Chain A
Amino acid sequence: MRKVRIRIGALIRAIVVLGICYIILMPLFTKLSSAFMTERDLYDQTVKWIPRNPTLDNFKLVWRYMKYPEAFKNSFLLALSVSLLQLAACTVVGYGFARFQFRGRNLLFGLVVFTLIVPPNLIMIPMYLNFRYFDLFGLLPDGGINLLGSYWPFILMAATGTGMRNGIFIYIMRQFFRGMPRDLEEAAYVDGAGPFTTFFRIMLPGAVPAMVIVFLFGFVWQWNDYFLTNIFMGGQTLLPLTLDSLVFSASGLVTGGMMLTGQYASLINNTGMLLFMAPLLVLYAFLQRYFVESVERTGLVG
Chain B
Amino acid sequence: MGNKRLSLEQQKTLMGYLFTLPFTIGFLLFVLYPFIQSILFSLSELQITQQGFELNFVALENYRYAVAVHPTFVRVFFETVLKMLTDVPLILVVSFFAALLLNQQFRGRTVARVIFFLPVIMGAGIILAMEQTDYMMLLHSAPAADTTAVGGDALRNLLFQMNLPETLLEYVVSAVERIPQIIRASGVQILIFLAGLQSISPALFEAADVEGATAWERFWMITFPMMSPLILTNVVYSIIDSFTSAYNELIVLIRSTAFGGAGYGVSSAMSWIYFLAILVILGITIRIISRNVFYHE
Contacts and interface: CB of A to CB of B under 8 A. Distances in A.
Interface stretch (B66-74, B127-135, B152-160): B127-135
Contacts of B238: none
Contacts of A276: 126-127
A284 B121 contact: yes
Interface string A55-86: 00000000000000000000000000000000
Given A24-B116, A270-B134, A288-B114, A118 B101 contact: no
Contact of B16 (A101, A115, A269): A101
Categorize the interface residue count of chain B: 35 or more
Nearest to A273: B127
Interface string B88-129: 000000000010010010101010111111111111111101
A125 B258 contact: yes
Contact of A295 (B31, B50, B192, B236): B192
Given A121-B271, A266-B134, A300-B192, A291 B117 contact: yes
7 smallest A-B Cβ distances: which pairs?
Answer: A160-B26, A96-B19, A100-B16, A102-B16, A224-B125, A126-B34, A266-B135
A21 interface: yes
Contacts of B113: 292
Given A225-B125, A295-B191, A96 B118 contact: no
Interface in B12-50: 12-20, 22-27, 29-31, 33-35, 37-38, 41, 50
Nearest to B131: A27
B13 A301 contact: no
Contacts of A144: 52
Interface stretch (A87-95, A204-212, A248-256): A87-95
B214 interface: no
B114 A162 contact: no
B184 interface: yes
A226 B125 contact: yes
Contact of A280 (B121, B179, B271): B121
Contacts of B18: 96
Interface-centre pick from A20, A21, A33, A280 (highest chain B CB count, 10 A): A20
B20 A93 contact: yes
Interface of B: 11-20, 22-27, 29-31, 33-35, 37-38, 41, 50-53, 98, 101, 104, 106, 108, 110, 112-127, 129-131, 134-137, 140-141, 144, 179-180, 183-184, 191-192, 194-196, 198-199, 230, 236, 240, 243-244, 251, 254-255, 258, 264, 267-268, 271-272, 274-275, 278-279, 282
Interface residues of A, number: 97
Nearest to B250: A121
Given A93-B19, A137-B29, A125 B127 contact: no
5 contacts: A123-B31, A133-B52, A224-B125, A284-B121, A301-B199
